[in-house]
A and B are shown apart, each in its own frame.
Chain A
Amino acid sequence: MGKSEAESILSGDRRALARLLTQVENGSHEGRRTLDELFPHTGKAHLIGVTGAPGTGKSTLVNQVALQYRSPAAANPKRVAIVAVDPSSPFTGGAVLGDRVRMRDLAGDPGVFIRSMASRGSLGGLAQTTAAVVQVFDAAGYDVILIETVGAGQTEVDIARLAHTTLVVESPGLGDEIQAIKAGILEIADILVINKADLPGAEKTEHALRGMLGLAHPVEKVFHHHGQAMILPESKPADTSQWVPPILRTISTDGTGVEELMTAIEQHAQHLRQSGEWGRRERARLEAELEALLTETLVRKFRTSVPDVRYDEMVDRLVQRTLSPWEAVKALLNGGA
């Protein structure tokens, strides 16, 4: 019994792993402590994000990609973790998490671990604790972590901050050329996948996406955080060759095109490593995480110092229009008005 939770997880105890994921999701103190202990063991896994509109076949595609990584034909089968996020009800906080339905081919394989997560009110396509859950899998020795976002629309782009490689899954008939040039989800794609390519309209979708890419690339990826560019440290690498997202067609119900997709994922990983982008993304991600945690902690700390009565009074005054939101913030921070 002398083993700590972290040691159990490092030695491959799946029950301990599942338990820690729950603790981390719930933001418990024990969970955080174990995570602290595990953190030095992270940073090894390839994080692959899968996003796209609801019903484009993300889960089925994740199932196929995981099967390829696990294939006995693969030179060295990789251990695969899947984090599948589905939305929570904004009213009751409940959720139906149904991504496992499409992943039954993976059952019984001890080299695969699937965890469903509810978004719990977070709006960026992931849950607030998804990054921490991914860290746990990384420390537990999973080589590849597939992160499936909630069915995402146009602004759920958090995944690009978290993943090394982001797949944006489209399917025929969902949008026209105007959708394709809007900012947002298409821009974050490292690989564009047209799934359900056997449906009519695949040609048109591909054409629209190619047009969009032709206009948009090459563009350097600098994330804008609250409207401000996040300045990524380190000067530009010697190799400035830009990655142009390939557009691939798949039919994930029968596996068509999945091998080509695997090749593209591998090529993207290689590109990231060779160009130094891997390290830069890693740094940007950790910085974003630090900032998010700092913000959350500061806000919580501050809020506990303000009595609810005073807070409610400020809201009342906003409603009465006797105070503007900015004035209210100033008043709360300075303890005046």
Chain B
Amino acid sequence: MSERKTSPEQGRRIRVLVAKPGLDGHDRGAKVVARALRDAGMEVIYTGLRQTPEMIAEAALQEDVDVVGLSILSGAHMALIPRILELLKANGQEHVKIFVGGIIPDEDAPRLKEMGVTGVYGPGAPTGTIVDEIRLALEPAA
């Protein structure tokens, strides 16, 4: 408890939108990640299943998030993610960092990163790694 007591507990918190685009109905992974980010002190806006890219971009805009975390298990990531990136850009939110988790084949990960995705995680990725990499990605801005 060595922080100055005079400064109120205010200031910027990392805001993350956790969304499940597409049609698969498994959101356990997304919920585990949401919980882990919460425990790391972040504010997580959870939007639920079956979100369209348009819904995700709109929520990201309204909530003014720093990070969008996408969970995709359906295999449609190469179709969904470029569209989401495009919409974020159209809204003037190209600074938002994108993290993707789910079932992503190894050969797709570098392609996603080339498109502008910051992190790609498969099954079993430790949540601590995701937390650290989000913090690292936002560091220069914060």
Contact B64 A21 (CB under 8 A): yes
Query: Which residues of B pack against A, CB within 8 Å?
Result: 4-6, 8-13, 15, 34-35, 37-48, 51-52, 54-55, 58-59, 61-64, 91-93
Q: Which residue of A lies closest to B92 (CB)?
A: A15
B108 to chain A, nearest CB (A): 27
Most buried by A among B15, B37, B64: B64
Q: Which stretch from A64-72, A100-108, A171-179, A244-252 is at the chain B interface?
A: A100-108
Q: In the complex where A15-B61, A116-B63, A121-B9 touch, is A95 in contact with B54 (Cβ < 8 A)?
A: no
Asked if A104 and B44 make an inter-chain contact with CB atoms under 8 angstroms apart, the answer reads no
Known A-B contacts A14-B62, A18-B63, A100-B45; the reply to A94 vs B39 at CB < 8 A is yes
A residues whose Cβ falls under 8 Å from a Cβ of B: 14-15, 18-19, 21-22, 26-27, 88-89, 92-98, 100-101, 104, 107-108, 113-116, 118, 120-121, 300, 303-304, 308, 311
A328 to chain B, nearest CB (A): 14
B93: chain A residues at CB < 8 Å are: 15
8 Å CB contact of B62 from A95, A98, A115: A115
Which 7 pairs show the lowest CB-CB distances between chains A and B? A94-B38, A101-B48, A18-B64, A107-B55, A303-B6, A94-B41, A22-B64
Q: Which residues of B contact A100 (CB under 8 A)?
A: 45-48, 59
Known: A14-B62, A107-B54, A308-B5. A101 touches B43 (CB 8 A): no
Contacts of A18 in B (CB 8 A): 61-64
> Whole-angstrom distance between the alpha carbons of A107 and B53 in the complex?
11
A-B contact count (CB 8 A): 98
| Contact with A94, one of B12, B44, B48, B54 (Cβ below 8 angstroms) | B44
Are A108 and B55 interface neighbours, CB within 8 A? yes
Q: Among A27, A88, A96, which residue has its beta carbon within 8 angstroms of that of B35?
A: A96
Q: How far in angstroms is the closest Cβ of chain A from B131?
A: 10
Instruction: Pull 11 A–B residue pairs with CB atoms less than 8 Å apart, ordered by A.
Output: A15-B91, A22-B64, A26-B11, A93-B13, A94-B39, A97-B44, A100-B46, A108-B54, A116-B63, A303-B6, A308-B5
Chain A's closest residue to B58 (CB) is A107
| A96: B residues at CB distance < 8 A | 34-35, 38, 44, 46
C-alpha spacing A326/B12, complex, angstroms: 34
Known contacts A21-B64, A95-B43, A107-B52; 9 further A-B pairs (Cβ under 8 A):
A18-B61, A26-B10, A26-B12, A97-B46, A100-B59, A108-B54, A108-B55, A114-B62, A120-B9
Q: How far is the CA of A302 from the CA of B58 in the complex (A)?
A: 43
Knowing A19-B64, A98-B46, A115-B62, the reply to whether A300 touches B34 (Cβ < 8 A) is no
User: Is B11 a contact of A27 with CB atoms below 8 Å?
Assistant: yes
Q: How far is the CA of A304 from the CA of B4 in the complex (A)?
A: 10
The CA of A26 and the CA of B61, in the complex, are separated in Å by 17
Q: What's the Cα separation between A21 and B54 when bound, in Å?
A: 21
Query: Which residue in chain B gives the minimum CB-CB distance to A303?
Result: B6
